[in-house]
Structure 1
Amino acid sequence: MSATAEGESILEPLLSAKASRPQGSSTGTTGAPTNWVQVVNIVQDVFSVAKEEARGDCHNLVLVLQHHRNYSRGEALAEARSIVRGHTDEFLRLKARLPALFDAAALPPHDRGIAYVFVDDLQAQMKGCHDWCRSSSRYSRVIRARPDEPTYLEEMRLEGLGR
């Protein structure tokens, strides 16, 4: 069994934990990987919104929020930040529950170590995605869909995903 598979099996209570629903979530059931996926997807949407808008791609959370909720670009970006914050906060709450879950399951130290590596990797990937999006030429070559508005890089500041 791979370390990832071992980490997932050890973390089953965390992965399928019933948690309070982060803002924007469509389900009341979430777990660390669900939060990780949402953060990565939304961060990429935020940083790519101008390019996607310029090429007519409407499959972007920021554009969807603008269209379906009649939000301004700033309001849609603020909502996206709020959703990301909800997912990162929930991830950190679930991570904080690990010691109690491990104690209750009498999990041996070796297995705890595997689980902590798995969860730390998820957290590092969220932070890495954000950092990469901020510095990658994929997102830094800005296409201004509307010259009178600031770009997404000028508006968006996602911080606090680090350890």
Structure 2
Amino acid sequence: MPRAVNFALPFESACSPDRDAARLRNLTWARRLGLVTNAVDEQRYLAWDIADLTARWLPCASGAELDLGIDAIVVGTLIDDQFDGARALSPDQLSECCDMLLDVLRFDERYSPSCVLAAALADVWERQRRGASREWAERAALHWRWFIEAFPKEARWRQGTALLSLDSYLTLRRESGLVSMMVDLIEKANGFETTARARQVPSVQRLLVVAFDIVDTMNDVCSADKELSRGDVHNLVLVLQAEQGLSREAALAEAHDCMRRWCDEYVRIAARLPEDCVQQGLSSEETDAVLRLVRGIEAAIGGHPDWYRSTGRYDTRFPLGEAAYTEDLMRPLARAR
């Protein structure tokens, strides 16, 4: 169902012309790996339209590069739905499930996936690190681990009685939001790598944090109603309401103000990055990669709102107690064959 999405972003929107063909290729892939096995889940899967999200996140990608991006974001999306509050898993149970996925990221050629979702992650991870430097692959693995390990952390917070402060929430959200992995896809899809040294430049570090917060907050604004209906309060809008005693309307307004401030900061940081890179002693190749990443993030953020206007991902019809995705993707792999 179309959504009224109005984000004041200073970045232009574009979309890969390979989107529609890539959508069909992705569905074939998902069926082959046992991720889509019934009509109900296929309808929901198609309604999310992760192909459209990715084609706007990676507007210059096509073919295998776009396919990898879509498949990777699909796996992250399905992990999120498998571990959501509807399944009522305890933090310890979640940790056990997460360990099955974390094993995929061990750089062990002898690894054999134990469940359907681990097999899908393994497929994506092998393609993601193929041809990459060891340094880049280790950072990409770390970003996947951040995302997966955040689920037990969120579950422990939900079980507690203390309110999570805005700063604490943002720190955890930067891990749970998958955006760090999606930023890695910008480099992978466009055929370049930023070095660890470049990532340590303070202004580069801050620019990435600001980008994460912008994208995560867009998501929180669009998903607040759905998450509240499912009993999930891990959302910036709801944190603002609780911490500052705001109405829903005031909390939404503050979230939009946050995004505007972060966008302004992003633009200021990006403008001075060439000089900062020189001052930090980066090579011309390292500086060029940083600037390519900056442009890639701008394109990704610019296209993001268009996906929210059409996706069915944030439909509120599935209340607490009903799984957002019916199939148990943590089932043993042998049962999927």
Gaps of 5+ in 1: 17-30, 144-163
Is 1:10 paired with 2:10? Answer: no
* 1:135-150 mapped onto 2 (5 Å cutoff): 135-139=310-314, 141=315
TM-score scaled to structure 1, two decimals?
Answer: 0.66
Is 1:60 matched with 2:248?
no
TM-score, length-scaled by structure 2:
0.34
Corresponding residue pairs, total: 128
Question: For 2:253, what is the secondary structure of its paired residue?
Answer: helix
Partners of 2:212 and 2:282 lie apart in 1 by 27
Specify the code of the residue in structure 2 equivalent to 1:88. Answer: C
Verify the 8 A CA contact 1:66 1:76 in the aligned structure 2. yes
Residues 1-59 of structure 1: per-residue CA shift (max 9 Å, x gap)? 453333x533524224xxxxxxxxxxxxxx11101111111110000011111111111
Structure 2 unpaired stretches of 5+: 1-132, 137-191, 318-337
- Report what 2:215 is aligned to: 40
Measured on the aligned residues, the alpha-carbon RMSD in Å equals: 2.5
State the alpha-carbon separation in 2 of the partners of residues 107 and 15 from structure 1.
12
Q: 1:109 to 1:58 in 2, by over 3 A?
A: same
Identity of aligned residues (%): 34
Q: 1:92 aligns with which of 263, 267, 272?
A: 267
Tell me which structure has the larger Cα radius of gyration: 2
1:115 aligned to 285, 290, 294, which one? Answer: 290
Contact preservation (8 Å) 1:40, 1:130: no
In the alignment, is the contact (CA less than 8 A) between 1:47 and 1:134 conserved in 2? Answer: no
Which of 245, 265, 268 aligns to 1:70? It is 245
Does the Cα contact within 8 Å between 1:10 and 1:115 map onto a contact in 2? yes
Distance 1:138 1:67 in 2: 25
Summarize deviations over 1:119-160 as a string: whole Å, max 9, x none: 112222222333322321213x456xxxxxxxxxxxxxxxxx
